[in-house]
A and B are shown apart, each in its own frame.
Chain A
Amino acid sequence: MTDILRTEELKIYYGQNEAVKGVDLTFTENSVTALIGPSGCGKSTFLRALNRMNDEIPGSRMTGNIWIDGKNINAPDTDVTVLRQNIGMVWQRPNPFYKSIYANIAFGPKYHGVRNKAELDNIVEDSLRKAALWDEVKDRLHTSALSLSGGQQQRLCIARALSVQPKILLLDEPASALDPVSTAKIEETILQLKEQLCIVIVTHNMQQAARISGHTAYFYMGRLVEYDKTEKIFTNPSDPMTQEYISGRFG
């Protein structure tokens, strides 16, 4: 498997506060990596650094390198807009645009110059299929995205992210606001997407991390405590802190 994304000594500050204290992590193609750890451990901040979303927070600062395909994207000359076009992101709370289902998905491709109606239709269908939503919405593509249930909205957001064919997908607790059935569907979707994408997922749910990820990284107080195969982390972690967190969580 090829490396696609690597961070080097990544430090992130909010004002005076150092939220991420030098993290080195490598992500490979076609994999799912889970970032776990207690609230405030810096895992979400780290995730948002990967597509430079932290830039939008006034007072945030970042040092260190993020290599994507051989280019350091934490460089002043990086075109953040282009970078973000190539990295999808989905949040904890579904945030579909206040538009129709179709318009939500077609928006990105249209912006990137796809004008052909048939091609757009294809992209919409393809993205919705990948997000396992097609069958549920194919008869009402032109109704409001807000009329969907929470779980459907979240899958729509995944489909929207997929519509521009990113190679990397960042998921920030994508299922934590959803019911168990929707969560299961999202997990299923993630497992299927793994075949084509590098997925990084932040989660509070240990079982979820165990079910879907190949590798797991445990964060604590802004540091990366342990990174290994998920199996290893959950059965035989090297670090006692990881052991404590995981067992505490499993209760």
Chain B
Amino acid sequence: MSAKLKDRIATFVIIAFSALIIALLVGMLGYILVKGISHIDWHFLTAEPETIKAGGGIGPELFNSVYLLILTLIITIPLGIGAGIYMAEYAKEGRITVSIRLVVEVLSSFPSIVVGLFGLLVLVNTFNFGFSVLSGALVLTIFNMPLMVRVTEQAFRNVPREQKEAGLAMGLSRWKIITSILLPVALPAIITGTILAAGRIFGEAAALLFTAGLTTPKLDFTDWNPTSLHSPINPLRPAETLSVHIWKVNSEGLSPDAAEIAAGSSAVLVLMVLIFNLLARWAGRLLYRKFTSIK
């Protein structure tokens, strides 16, 4: 076989495989959206799920997913950014920094189910938080923190070194430089990273099976007392999220329209992820302009 022919075949294979990947994504998205979107209406998005009858919705699950995401971000963002700043600005190159980097790497590689089990043992049982939004949020924090640390560290390292020097030479404290000079420049990248991470949190299920639970108490959206069991914002109530719901419906769903519900839920989940992706791109560009130029 001549070299030219080989080259042609190889090029063809590469292009064919790449096309296959694109087709896979298009096919999967198309399948979910076509099957799911027809099922999505206001009733589906707001109604309670049904166990045996048809016509159940995903209202509480959707609310739980969003609530859990917000709670997780509230906990993760300050901690993750703090640790990221330590890595970028305070850590001296040496054995300790190398080990912390290893910790971050290992932590982000732990299977989510193992982290979920840890949450079950420590948060649900030992700390007695029970199957709850709080347990779920804390477990998701464990997941999300390494990601936030990396994003923050990278964002700070990308700020030109001269910015820091200028601050130092003006006699600013390191902390003042970090918060007032470097952070505004690094923030767009951090926000983009956070939104992408939020997409991941939104889709996570394995860790939540054992922490946030598989059930939701009947929610009363007029009750905003955080200690009441039926209050949507009670952090100590169990909360089945949308992702967990998809899993549950697929593996033990009894209602006659289980397949449609799974498709509709998947469509909602995928749409949310798509929105997070677009938002991240858009926000990154917009914020960069806003933070670095006109005040």
Contact = CB atoms under 8 A, between A and B. Distances in A.
The answer to whether A and B touch in the complex, with CB atoms under 8 Å apart, is yes
Interface of A: 51, 53, 56, 58, 81-89, 91, 93, 95-100, 102-103, 107-108, 111, 142-144, 146-147, 157, 160-161, 164
Given A58-B93, A98-B184, A88 B169 contact: yes
A93 to B, nearest CB: 6
B293 A86 contact: no
A97 B181 contact: yes
B106 interface: no
Give me the 4 closest cross-chain CB pairs, A-B, nearest first.
A85-B171, A144-B293, A95-B162, A84-B171
Interface in B117-175: 160, 162-163, 165-173
B69 to A, nearest CB: 30
Interface residues of B, number: 24
Given A95-B163, A98-B185, A146-B293, A107 B180 contact: yes
Interface string B213-246: 0000000000000000000000000000000000
Interface in B242-295: 291-295
Contacts, number: 76
Nearest to A86: B171
Interface of B: 92-93, 160, 162-163, 165-173, 176, 180-181, 184-185, 291-295
Main SS of chain B's interface residues? helix
A142 B172 CA distance: 23
A98 B159 CA distance: 10
Given A91-B162, A95-B163, A95-B165, A143 B172 contact: no
A144 B171 CA distance: 23
Contacts of A81: 171-173
Given A85-B170, A111-B176, A97 B163 contact: yes
Contact of A95 (B160, B173, B293): B160
Q: A82, A97, A102: which has the most chain B beta carbons within 10 Å? A: A97
A170 to B, nearest CB: 8
A53 B181 contact: no
Contacts of B291: 98
A99 B171 contact: no
Contacts of A107: 170, 180
A143 B92 contact: no
Contacts of B292: 98, 144, 146
